[in-house]
Structure 1
Amino acid sequence: MAAIGVHLGCTCACVAVYKDGRADVVANDAGDRVTPAVVAYSKNEEVVGLAAKQNRVRNIANTVVKVKQILGRSSGDPQAEKYIAESKCPVTEKNGKLQYEIDNKLVCPEEVAKLIFSKMKETAQSALGSDVNDVVITVPFEFGENQKNALGQAAGAAGFNVLRLIHEPSAALLAYGIGQDSPTGKSNVLVFKLGGTSLSVTVIEVNSGIYRVLATNTDDSIGGVCFTEALAQHLASEFQRSYKHDIRGNSRAMMKLMNSADVAKHSLSTLGSSNCFVDSLYDGLDFDCNVSRARFELICSPLFNKCVEAIKKLLQQVGFTADDINKVVLCGGSARIPKLQQLIKDLFPAVELLNSITPDEVIPIGAATEAGILVGKENLSLEEEALSIECSAKDILVKGVDESGTDKFTVLFPSGTPLPARRQHTLLAPGNNSSVCLELYESLGKSPAKEEGKFAQIVLQDLDKKEGGLHDILTVLTMKRDGSLHVTCTDQDTGKCEVITVEVAS
């Protein structure tokens, strides 16, 4: 049985296929194993991938980049506002939904993501030689319900049959078979993911094949693009030194330099130096500059330090030292940088650093492995089945009222709770009320629950009033592995009951 795993990142997408017991990344029609998550629109066609990225200089207002950052978000979201401010392709709000304005037409982010997923499906099916549609999609740990739904819908619209959404750190562990080789052992694994636009560091406890997230932090202020920008700024200084022109204020020239810096950055992961040549960079002047790996490392030194500090901070958060970590998994394209790998090795001198799988291919390989597990379930042993246990991404809280009448939030499922999980909660409400409303919220990390975090409510109506007494409502919540939440509320006096299911709670 064959199946597919897809990782749609902010800057790139990658697809792997599971066949004959192993998962492998497959190359697209251009021969590249990673496809830029860029979609360019023209009057006659939509172009996905490298061609769209390379042509962005000439078609910037009609080229969509980093769609994952806005997918499933609304205009009040700080992340969405930041994206809108930086986007060269105009974004507007219509009927409460954010949409791109392209050639006087409105295009929703899900439509853009659908085109990227279609490209991934085409790439996978071409490699398999068959119309396999079963897929596992990866999502960042911090994605909420709306973002997961939007991602799943876009994949479905592209013709995929989505078997499951799994968190990126879990996929990274699956790629290396962590938990499979010694299902009875207990270990702590640090997953370091440096993607195009963000850095995520996660500590996962692996115990008897079950993954439990102990802590995770995402920093949106650092990503692969920061390294590219730093190198582009250096190239702009070199151009100014040679030709006495400062091109930093010229967006077209800087975009050309960014493209050249991006190519050089990738080359410097395997070569000692790289040549940056830009034809007619500014005012008809060609630019030719050689950059050594040592120079690149010096330019990016503050960024490397920031990455290492993020690891130290997370270890501190969980009360660990480097000795408490048994394995470190590297993923994300920028985790390929040799200097960064060396600094992480120095931080964990006695720990196995897993980088034998190319870091930007780890997550899709894990997704394809999970897809293979799901499509071949009947052949699995119990240990392998236990591998696919997920964790809740966010705190799930219930809102109540304390004795003084102040809102009180109780955490029922802390983030990182292994799934499936079941919780009971007793809700006490004034007896003179004829109805009782239970409200559920989600919250990330230490931030308090906010009104926009409310994702479900269940109302018990027509209750018998109890003068001077309290309604005693027993609530049973069951969260399944896919994150769906089943809630039952029962009035203990009358047996009156209400039930809801929230498709993806966390």
Structure 2
Amino acid sequence: MAAIGVVGLAAKQSRIRNISNTVVKVKQILGRSSGDPQAKKYIKESKCSVVEKNGKLQYEIDNKLISPEDVAKLIFSKMKETAQSALGSDVNDVVITVPFDFGENQKNALGEAAAAAGFNVMRLIHEPSAALLAYGIGQDSPLEKVNILLLKLNNVLVYKLGGTSLSITVIEVNSGIYRVLATNTDDGIGGVCFTEALAQHLASEFQRSCKHDIRGNPRAMMKLMNSADVAKHSLSTLGSANCFVDSLYDGLDFDCNVSRARFELICSSLFSKCVEAIKKLLEQVEFTAEDINKVVLCGGSARIPKLQQLIKDIFPNVELLSSIPPDEVIPIGAAIEAGILLGKENPSLEEEALFIECSAKDILLKGVDETGADKFTVLFPSGTPLPARRQHTLHAPGNTSSVCLELYESLGKSPMNEENKFAQIVLQDLDKKEDGLHDLLTVLTMKRDGSLHVTCTDQDTGKCEVITVEVAS
């Protein structure tokens, strides 16, 4: 969160007076174009005005246009200043963590913003990988590695509930190699949802005691949000928390005590969403709870005791790793990776983990079955190690002179629609056949950066079309 020149907690406090000039979730827009569905959703929800100029998205703050990259640079500058103050020396080298579903453009934009703030970016690593590094998973001794291979592969579920999103990833660990089997991110739930639910409860209590409904008053509700946020954090360690707001509305102070049990009741539907997401991801990879060997908790909101208990209930016989404060797990993993790269590795970490880029989503080819119904063939399942190459022969009716092949992407078994289509390739001027079929060979090559190269060839005539999709997943 950032306001002009103010970052973090200070910005969060100042949004009471300055909400229209306060930027939140900057990484949701960083490196994205205006046509990106995620960017459109963000622009619609943003309290700070977002406009497009010269093909780029920018924030309009106090009649000035500020790019997302400049906001990210400000945040990195503040982080650099904080680190130097804590260490008492210059801080230049850095490892940055990114969500698994970050595209190449987003990674580049983030790296450039860090470089502009004076950092030497040694490496960008995925957040789930950093979480595993924090606990030394996959960094075992050679003998331990052999034992793991003889028994079964180590499957780890990384559960990250941050302020604005929920991200769950299943990773297969094999001799220091991390392979993502499946991942899913839900931007519709995060720690702020719990804060908002508590703030709504406090507004109801204020109405009951003071006879004023303040839900339509942005300033008063923002005061309640700040108080609810503090109370939420307290309830992770205490049985109750006091919410006091000076001059909440019309000169009236507000004082209310909330128990942990009441908070859990208020947020019961949110807790249900948080655990249902785990079950859906396990279904996606056709796993049961017994197929998971470890669960790693990360993200500030994973501190909530009720959530931890619900996760334990799903995995009663699985080791739940929460000894490191969840909001520190990913930064610690990044610091360990930085130490490895600088040659200052922890003695217990004998070698660096090998990171393999994988496809973030299923890539499917649309065809038609014998009945004429749409048929989707998965060519790159999510988690496919990159680079990768696939080929598929598509049969089309011989009486047609052109064929359109459509590519789709998906995060699971949800039904396909036009929003999932990201590319198409058209093969024209085919020789018609009285009977028989056109045999079309499609070869797809996905590079490490997620870009996709597609070649489609008519086997009879050799006619060929080629397209390249810069970022396919």
Out of 324-333 and 305-314, give the one that drifted further. Answer: 305-314
Distance 1:306 1:431, change over 3 A: closer
Deviations 1:251-283 (A, max 9, x none): 110000000000000011111111111010000
Task: Give the deviation of 1:325 after TM superposition.
Answer: 1.1
Does the CA contact (< 8 Å) of 2:2 and 2:71 recur in 1?
no
Q: Write the distance in 1 (CA, Å) between the matches of 2:169 and 2:258.
A: 33
Distance 1:5 1:427, change over 3 A: farther
Distance 1:321 1:254, change over 3 A: same
Out of 86-95 and 279-288, give the one that drifted further. Answer: 86-95
Deviations 1:40-72 (A, max 9, x none): xxxxxxxx2221211111112211112122222
Find the residue that maps to 1:410 and give its secondary structure.
strand
Task: Give the deviation of 1:319 after TM superposition.
Answer: 1.8
Q: 2:239 aligns with which of 272, 293, 310?
A: 272
TM-score under structure 2 normalisation? 0.79
Distance 1:456 1:134, change over 3 A: farther
Distance 1:493 1:135, change over 3 A: farther
Task: Give the deviation of 1:134 after TM superposition.
Answer: 2.6
Task: Give the deviation of 1:315 after TM superposition.
Answer: 1.5
Does the CA contact (< 8 Å) of 2:139 and 2:353 recur in 1?
no
Task: Give the deviation of 1:82 after TM superposition.
Answer: 2.5
Distance 1:114 1:462, change over 3 A: farther
Residue 191 of structure 2 is matched in structure 1 by: 224
Q: Write the distance in 2 (CA, Å) between the matches of 1:412 and 1:156.
A: 37
| Residues 1:498 and 2:465 aligned together | yes
- Identity score, percent: 90
Q: Write the distance in 2 (CA, Å) between the matches of 1:353 and 1:381.
A: 21
Residue 370 of structure 1 is matched in structure 2 by: 337
Does the CA contact (< 8 Å) of 1:3 and 1:368 recur in 2?
no
Task: Give the deviation of 1:456 after TM superposition.
Answer: 10
Q: Write the distance in 1 (CA, Å) between the matches of 2:344 and 2:395.
A: 43
Q: Write the distance in 2 (CA, Å) between the matches of 1:3 and 1:103.
A: 11
Task: Give the deviation of 1:132 after TM superposition.
Answer: 3.8
TM-score under structure 1 normalisation? 0.74
Distance 1:315 1:402, change over 3 A: closer
Deviations 1:386-435 (A, max 9, x none): 43334232346789999999999976543212345566789999999999
- Segments of structure 1 that go 5 or more residues without pairing to the other structure are 7-47
Does the CA contact (< 8 Å) of 2:157 and 2:296 recur in 1?
yes
Does the CA contact (< 8 Å) of 2:457 and 2:463 recur in 1?
yes
Task: Give the deviation of 1:382 after TM superposition.
Answer: 12
Task: Give the deviation of 1:234 after TM superposition.
Answer: 0.9
Q: Write the distance in 1 (CA, Å) between the matches of 2:270 and 2:307.
A: 9
Q: Write the distance in 2 (CA, Å) between the matches of 1:379 and 1:298.
A: 43
| Residues 1:89 and 2:45 aligned together | no
Task: Give the deviation of 1:4 after TM superposition.
Answer: 25
Distance 1:421 1:297, change over 3 A: same
Q: Write the distance in 1 (CA, Å) between the matches of 2:285 and 2:398.
A: 43
Out of 168-177 and 325-334, give the one that drifted further. Answer: 168-177
Q: Write the distance in 2 (CA, Å) between the matches of 1:354 and 1:4.
A: 38
Q: 2:141 aligns with which of 167, 182, 185?
A: 182
RMSD, matched Cα: 5.4
| Residues 1:58 and 2:20 aligned together | no
Q: Write the distance in 1 (CA, Å) between the matches of 2:346 and 2:448.
A: 20
Residue 172 of structure 1 is matched in structure 2 by: 131
Distance 1:99 1:497, change over 3 A: same
Find the residue that maps to 2:15 and give its secondary structure.
coil
Does the CA contact (< 8 Å) of 2:178 and 2:353 recur in 1?
no
Aligned residues: 462
Does the CA contact (< 8 Å) of 2:5 and 2:74 recur in 1?
no
Q: Write the distance in 2 (CA, Å) between the matches of 1:51 and 1:392.
A: 38
| Within-5 A mapping of 1:311-322 | 311-322=278-289
Find the residue that maps to 1:341 and give its secondary structure.
helix
Q: Write the distance in 2 (CA, Å) between the matches of 1:336 and 1:220.
A: 19
Does the CA contact (< 8 Å) of 1:476 and 1:488 recur in 2?
yes
- Segments of structure 2 that go 5 or more residues without pairing to the other structure are 143-153
Does the CA contact (< 8 Å) of 1:240 and 1:246 recur in 2?
yes
Q: Write the distance in 2 (CA, Å) between the matches of 1:118 and 1:72.
A: 19
Find the residue that maps to 1:493 and give its secondary structure.
coil
Does the CA contact (< 8 Å) of 1:4 and 1:136 recur in 2?
no
